């Protein structure tokens, strides 16, 4: 090496008061000259370097958002909300795939029974109930500890995730309903029961039982009620008749009031 960077150039470079051309020239020289690299590093503030290095590591180590999360942000949902939704177990591809397969099975069963919509109508309302049950809780939610520390903890988080799960379930079940044989009122007869059972399971879990247990109870009561109504009225679809639909609407309203009144029970760390 026949020349070395002047002290004034190195000082200007370290302090950041140097023009781009001179900086580029010095950096090219530094690549090949150990003595000047030593001169530069001797002048650099180590705490500033640590800060830069921490920033680099933070950027490299930060997990990249998934496809779903990026899509949510793109349609205008806030980044923190998108992360909360993307980490909801019941909104993951594996769960949605299982739901789609189950709905498909019920449609095939309805077709195999000569157009009887009962298998589909009984099963579709349970889809959001199961989804909401696995949308919360320590054993299931990978972001459980994280959600405890967010300002959007507890009740708001429960509402956001339940609404997202319910909306997704309705879209999936609605698509499956299109494949039902002999379409008619049976294509939508599952909607009010679905809403009613979902809110009922939330109301049940507000009493302190785990969301999965609440969903199990609601599901068992639902299947029993459908079978019992069919037997008592001697009509297979009695549980979906207009009178029953009105009862589902009233029950959904009542359960919503219970959830609203007991909202603080969703804020307890042990529960969410």
Q: Which of 256, 241, 141, 147 is nearest to 195 (CA)?
A: 256
43 sits near Zn ion (criterion: CB under 5 A):
no
Supply the minimum distance, in Å, between the C-beta of residue 13 and Zn ion.
Answer: 12
Supply the minimum distance, in Å, between the C-beta of residue 35 and Zn ion.
Answer: 5
Supply the minimum distance, in Å, between the C-beta of residue 33 and Zn ion.
Answer: 3
User: Which of 18, 26, 36, 134 contacts Zn ion by CB under 5 A?
Assistant: 36
Residues in contact with Zn ion, total (CB under 5 A)? Answer: 4
- In the complex with Zn ion, the residue whose CB is nearer, 25 or 156, is 25
33 sits near Zn ion (criterion: CB under 5 A):
yes
104 sits near Zn ion (criterion: CB under 5 A):
no
Which range touches Zn ion (CB under 5 A), out of 3-11, 53-61, 78-86, 87-95?
A: 3-11
Distance CA 169, CA 163 (A): 10
- In the complex with Zn ion, the residue whose CB is nearer, 6 or 15, is 6
Which range touches Zn ion (CB under 5 A), out of 10-18, 34-42, 106-114, 141-149?
A: 34-42
Supply the minimum distance, in Å, between the C-beta of residue 37 and Zn ion.
Answer: 8
4 sits near Zn ion (criterion: CB under 5 A):
yes
Supply the minimum distance, in Å, between the C-beta of residue 38 and Zn ion.
Answer: 9
Supply the minimum distance, in Å, between the C-beta of residue 88 and Zn ion.
Answer: 57
Which range touches Zn ion (CB under 5 A), out of 12-20, 31-39, 207-215, 253-261?
A: 31-39
Q: C-alpha 94: how far from its chain's center? A: 13
- In the complex with Zn ion, the residue whose CB is nearer, 40 or 218, is 40
Supply the minimum distance, in Å, between the C-beta of residue 10 and Zn ion.
Answer: 9
Which range touches Zn ion (CB under 5 A), out of 27-35, 101-109, 168-176, 219-227?
A: 27-35
Task: Determine the length of the chain.
Answer: 272
Q: What is the DSSP string of the chain?
A: ------HHHHHHHHHT-S-HHHHHHHHHHHHH-HHHHHHHHHHS-HHHHHHHHHHHHHHHHSPPP-HHHHHHHHTT--HHHHHHHHT-GGGSHHHHHHHHHHHHHHHHHHHHTTS--HHHHHHTTHHHHHHHHTSSSTTT-TTHHHHHTSTT-HHHHHHHHHHHHHHHHHHHHHHHHTTSSS-SGGGTTTHHHHHHHHHHHHHHHTTTS-HHHHHHHHHHHHHHHHHHHHHHHT-TTGGGSHHHHHHHHHHHHHHHHHHHHTGGGGT-TTT-
Q: Are 186 and 249 in contact (CB under 8 A)?
A: no
Q: Are 124 and 170 in contact (CB under 8 A)?
A: no
- In the complex with Zn ion, the residue whose CB is nearer, 5 or 255, is 5
Distance CA 66, CA 98 (A): 20
Which range touches Zn ion (CB under 5 A), out of 35-43, 74-82, 162-170, 211-219?
A: 35-43
Q: Are 165 and 131 in contact (CB under 8 A)?
A: yes
Supply the minimum distance, in Å, between the C-beta of residue 9 and Zn ion.
Answer: 10
25 sits near Zn ion (criterion: CB under 5 A):
no
Instruction: Catalog residues that contact Zn ion under the rule CB under 5 A.
Output: 4, 33, 35-36
């Amino acid at each position: 090496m026949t020349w070395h960077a002047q002290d004034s150039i190195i000082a200007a470079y370290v302090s950041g008061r140097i023009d781009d051309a001179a900086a580029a020239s010095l950096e090219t020289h530094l690549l090949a000259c150990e003595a000047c690299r030593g001169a530069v590093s001797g002048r650099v503030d180590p705490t500033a370097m640590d800060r830069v290095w921490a920033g680099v590591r933070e950027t490299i180590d930060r997990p990249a958002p998934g496809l779903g999360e990026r899509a949510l942000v793109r349609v205008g949902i806030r980044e923190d909300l998108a992360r909360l939704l993307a980490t909801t177990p019941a909104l993951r591809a594996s769960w949605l795939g299982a739901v789609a397969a189950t709905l498909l099975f019920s449609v095939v069963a309805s077709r195999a029974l000569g157009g009887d919509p009962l298998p589909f109508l009984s099963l579709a309302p349970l889809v959001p109930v199961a989804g909401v049950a696995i949308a919360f809780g320590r054993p299931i939610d990978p972001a459980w500890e994280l959600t405890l520390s967010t300002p959007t903890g507890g009740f708001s988080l429960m509402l956001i995730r339940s609404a997202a799960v319910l909306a997704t379930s309705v879209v999936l079940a609605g698509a499956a309903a299109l494949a039902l044989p002999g379409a008619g009122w049976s294509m939508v007869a599952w909607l009010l029961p679905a809403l009613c059972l979902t809110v009922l399971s939330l109301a049940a879990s507000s009493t302190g039982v785990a969301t999965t247990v609440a969903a199990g109870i609601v599901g068992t009561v639902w299947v029993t009620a459908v079978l019992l109504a069919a037997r008592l009225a001697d009509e297979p679809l009695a549980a979906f008749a207009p009178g029953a639909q009105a009862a589902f609407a009233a029950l959904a309203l009542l359960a919503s009031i219970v959830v609203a009144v007991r909202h603080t029970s969703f804020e307890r760390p042990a529960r969410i």
